[in-house]
Amino acid sequence: MAEIKMKRRSLLQSMSMLAVGGGALLKTRDLQAAVDEATKSVKGWPEMEYRKLGKTDFEGSRLVFGCGAALSRGQANDLLEPAFDSGINVFDVGYGDYYGDAEKNLAPFLKKHRDDVFLISKAPVGRFSADETINVVKAKQAARYWSDWIDVSLKMMKTEHIDAYYLMASNNPGVIRSEEIYSAFNAAKQAGKISHLGISTHENAENVLLAAADTGWYSLAQIAITPGGWYDWEAKDILAGSRDMMGLKPVLEAARGAGIGLIGMKAGRHLAGRWFGWGSPDAYDKYYSDSVMKSKLNTFQRSYAYVLANGLDAVNADMQEWQHLREDVVSATSAQTYFV
Residue 37: what pLDDT?
67
Residue 274: what pLDDT?
53
In terms of C-beta density within 10 A (0-12 exposed, 13-18 middle, 19 or more buried), how is residue 3 classed? Answer: exposed
Residue 9: what pLDDT?
38
Distance CA 174, CA 135 (A): 9
pLDDT band for 38, please (50, 70, 90 cuts).
low
* pLDDT exceeds 70 at position 32: no
Higher pLDDT, 21 or 288: 288
* pLDDT exceeds 60 at position 108: yes
* Model confidence pLDDT, tens digit, residues 289-318: 999 999 999 999 999 999 999 999 999 999
Distance CA 145, CA 241 (A): 34
Pairing of strands 63-66, 90-92: parallel
* pLDDT exceeds 70 at position 327: yes
Q: Residue 223 in contact with residue 182, Cβ under 8 Å? A: no
Query: What average pLDDT does the segment 180-205 reach?
Result: 98
Residue 143: what pLDDT?
98
- Looking at CATH, the fold of the domain delimited by 46-339 is given as TIM Barrel (3.20.20)
Distance CA 53, CA 298 (A): 27
- Range scoring the smallest mean pLDDT among 22-26, 113-117, 221-225: 22-26
Residue type for position 10: S
Residue 164: what pLDDT?
98
Query: What average pLDDT does the segment 133-144 reach?
Result: 97
Residue 273: what pLDDT?
63
